[in-house]
Amino acid sequence: MALTDITVRQAKPKAKTYKLFDSDGLFLLVTPTGGKWWRFKYCYAGKEKLLSVGTFPKVSLKEARSRRDLERGKLDEQIDPAINRKAIKASWAGDLENTFEVIARELIQMKSSTWSKHYSDNIIRRLELNVFPWLGQNPIANITAPTLLNILRRIEARGVHETAHRVLHTCGQVFRYAIATGRAERDPTGDLRGALAPVKGKHFAAITEPKAIGGLLRAMDAYQGSLIVRCALRLAPLVFVRPGELRQAAWTEIDFEAASWNIPAERMKMRQAHLVPLSYQALEILKELHPLTGRGRFLFPSPRTSLRPMSDNAVLSAMRRMGIDKTEMTGHGFRAMARTVLDEVLNVRPDYIEHQLAHAVRDPNGRAYNRTAHLGERRKMMQLWADYLDQLKTDAGSVEFKKAA
């Protein structure tokens, strides 16, 4: 006899588990602790099997019968309900492992050996702010170009068009990695070419006209602030490294005897150790600074604590106090200055310059140059550059920089 709602509700626990049968394989399993479990018994390929279809009272008798009928329908189609359920659960688990956020974080972790920590942190932060809240939990294979475009339009609406382009580029990297690892079939970012508003070219402000360079160098030599900042100002054009590499320079990296500065891979943008030959002018600045900060870790420590390097804005603020506007020169601009003048005025081979800038220079066979490649030529180049800067400082025709009123 089929069960009724009252029979199910009034079923009491006994010393042992027992069954109350309904119809077509459905029954209620009552446990000694009072639990009531719906079970569906069926035969498939000559074997008797059981399938859970819920618990009472969360699943009523009517709902249990509906679930039983659904599973019986699968049997009519030669589908084993238990195997089908396992496949669905596996699919769900796969979706969780193949979401956009999971794959993006996996890619960034994989790239950590070649990307700097600063660059990796910027990438993940950009995704956390702009992509993950909306697309992070979506299976990557289900994300379409229109869905991604909606995210990018949201970024553009804030007026940060460059960020939108960077996010699109990063998403493309994630999709291509998913394709390579068999978790997606195509990269929808290719469908969005031309869909975003263009970004006007932006370059770091730099002084590249020789006479103006002479005035800038004299202004930095005459800086009246702290010796630490003054030395950083004077050293920056001689070594033309990135601002972060300069301010975090450590005394253990300086080899006075070899006249070299060895920057470890973890502090470089491309995660490759970099060697900077030091001209005698650069060495003189370091020898002047050493009695003041040489007992600590950093060449240019923070004025608040020697345990940290000086801030990002220390050199920039000093230039502003000297009357050098941000539209004329930035800390990064010393690199553009060196690249331009070494090439166009001093006629140095471009690959020597690019290698000293720690860019991805490759030889004719496509191999990346190592940190000591062309070291002799680069050492001559760095001394030539320092001598040329000295010449510009003594040029009477140089443009002077005066502090703004």
**Residues recognised as catalytic:** 242, 269, 332, 335, 359, 369
Cis peptide leading into residue 57 (ω within 30°) = yes
Structure-token pair, residue 202: 């932006």
Q: Please report how the helices 161-180 and 145-157 are oriented relative to each other, as an axis angle in degrees rounded to 10.
A: 150
**Strand order across the beta sheet in which 18-21 lies:** 18-21, 26-30, 36-44, 47-55
Q: At residue 34, what is the residue type? A: G
What are the φ/ψ torsions at residue 309 (nearest 5 degrees)?
-75, 170
* C-alpha distances in Å from residue 31, one per residue of 28, 55, 121, 170: 10, 12, 54, 55
Structure-token pair, residue 383: 């001394």
Q: Please report how the helices 333-344 and 375-393 are oriented relative to each other, as an axis angle in degrees rounded to 10.
A: 100
SS (H, E, C) 85-121: HHHHHHHHHHHHHCEHHHHHHHHHHHHCCCCCHHHHH
* C-alpha distances in Å from residue 79, one per residue of 5, 24, 74: 30, 17, 5
Q: How far is CA 14 from the centre of its chain?
A: 61
Q: How far apart are CA 304 and CA 310, in angstroms?
A: 9
Residue 25: closest CA among 45, 60, 55, 53: 53
Using only the alpha carbons of the chain, give its radius of gyration: 34
Q: How far is CA 306 from the centre of its chain?
A: 29
Helix (H, G, I), strand (E, B) or coil at 272: coil
Q: How far apart are CA 244 and CA 261, in angstroms?
A: 15
H-type alpha helices, 240-312: 243-247, 280-293
